[in-house]
Amino acid sequence: RKTAPNADDILRQKGGAPLVSLTAYTTPMAQMMDGHCDFVLVGDSVGMVLHGLTSTLGVTMEMMILHGQAVARGLSRSMMVIDMPFGSYEETPAQAFRNAARLMAETGAGAVKLEGGVEMADTIRFLVRRGIPVMAHIGLTPQSVNTLGGYKVQGREDQAEAVLADARAVAEAGAFSVVLEKVPQTLADRITAEIAIPTIGIGASAGCDGQILVVDDMLGFFTAFKPKFVKRYANLGPLAEVAIAEYAAEVRARTFPAAEHVFADQAPQKAPKP
């Protein structure tokens, strides 16, 4: 991509070339994915991936804004979408609008993402009608881990109709796309075929209109656990630890810094111009 798409461009890619996306939380990561991804998500997974929280429930508006601003500095060719954190949108549509507008104004994000299906449809409609593009997120919604009883697959067997109803509700409410997390492949394919907005899969199906992964998972930086749906395209965390151990050993052996890393008393003479 040469220029960043907007929510309408993403919507119009329904059924076309698969949409590519990753999460990002910092400027250098955003720079690496700029142009490779159609959109980059500042996910509330930042709480677990970078802040050591055990769930996403403790993530605040302030954390999202700080990471959103960092990511925005690294993007010019990918769209930025930002997660609404737990507690910032569930009470009323007005509360959701106030916080979504703040996230967009303070970070420059082109859209917000929020978790929920049928129960969030009125809120999605309220935001979209007032100028805020919304990406929905259904199936496994990690902010509801305490009522879902864990990070389980959603929509198996007699649960399938409920997830399908969620998909229909968010599409009907005006969401420009929807993340399907940890739902059976056949259900993901059925939803993708039935609704008019792009489905973005994570633990869903290669038949979705796009895919997303948490960048620290796919690069092997986050190794506390590995969900089945994560593919590690690199294993950089263990590589980084080897480098850190080598540095520690060299400092203790006084072999770092070496001659090339230290400064002489006098500045080196510049060679005269011929």
> Which residues are known binding-site members?
44-45, 83, 113, 115
- Judged by CB under 5 A, the stretch of 79-87, 120-128, 145-153, 235-243 that binds Na ion is 79-87
Among 38, 44, 181, 209, binds Na ion (CB under 5 A): 44
Cβ proximity to ligand KIV, 83 vs 209, nearer residue: 83
The interface mask with Na ion, positions 251-270, x = CB under 5 A, is --------------------
- Bridge partner list, 82: 42, 112
CA angle 205, 133, 69 (to 5 degrees): 95
Write out the residues near ligand KIV by the rule CB under 6 A.
23, 41, 43-45, 83, 137, 179, 202, 212, 214
Give binding residues for Mg(2+) as ranges.
44, 83, 115
- Dihedral of the alpha carbons of 48, 54, 58, 60, in degrees to the nearest 10: -10
The site partner of 212 among Na ion, ligand KIV, none (C-beta below 5 to 8 Å per kind) is ligand KIV
Query: In whole angstroms, what separates CA 221 from the centre of its chain?
Result: 15
Our answer to whether residue 91 is catalytic in this structure is no
**129-132 long-range CB contacts below 8 Å, 24 or more apart?**
129/174, 130/97, 132/97, 132/100, 132/101, 132/104
What's the closest the beta carbon of residue 23 comes to ligand KIV, in angstroms? 4
- Judged by CB under 5 A, the stretch of 44-52, 61-69, 144-152, 202-210 that binds Na ion is 44-52
Does 155 sit near Na ion (CB under 5 A)? no
| Given 172, 181, 246, 260, the catalytic residue | 181
What's the closest the beta carbon of residue 120 comes to ligand KIV, in angstroms? 14
What's the closest the beta carbon of residue 239 comes to Na ion, in angstroms? 27
Cβ proximity to Na ion, 190 vs 214, nearer residue: 214
User: Distance between CA 220 and CA 234 in Å, rounded?
Assistant: 6
| Closest by Cα among 173, 86, 91, 81 to 127 | 173
What's the closest the beta carbon of residue 212 comes to ligand KIV, in angstroms? 5
The set of residues, in sequence order, having a beta carbon less than 8 Å from that of 131 and lying 6+ positions away, is: none
Residue 36 in tokens: 């490779």
The site partner of 78 among ligand KIV, Na ion, none (C-beta below 5 to 8 Å per kind) is none
Among 83, 189, 216, 217, binds Na ion (CB under 5 A): 83
What's the closest the beta carbon of residue 77 comes to ligand KIV, in angstroms? 21
What is the torsional sign of CA 71, 244, 50, 180? positive
Residue 176 in tokens: 């420009």
Q: Which residue is nearest to ligand KIV (CB)?
A: 43
Cβ proximity to ligand KIV, 184 vs 210, nearer residue: 210
| Other beta carbons less than 10 A from residue 107's beta carbon | 21
User: Distance between CA 237 and CA 196 in Å, rounded?
Assistant: 39
* Strand ranges (E), the chain: 19-23, 39-42, 79-83, 111-115, 134-139, 177-181, 199-202, 210-213
Positions marked catalytic: 181
Residue numbers at the binding site for Na ion (CB under 5 A)? 43-44, 83
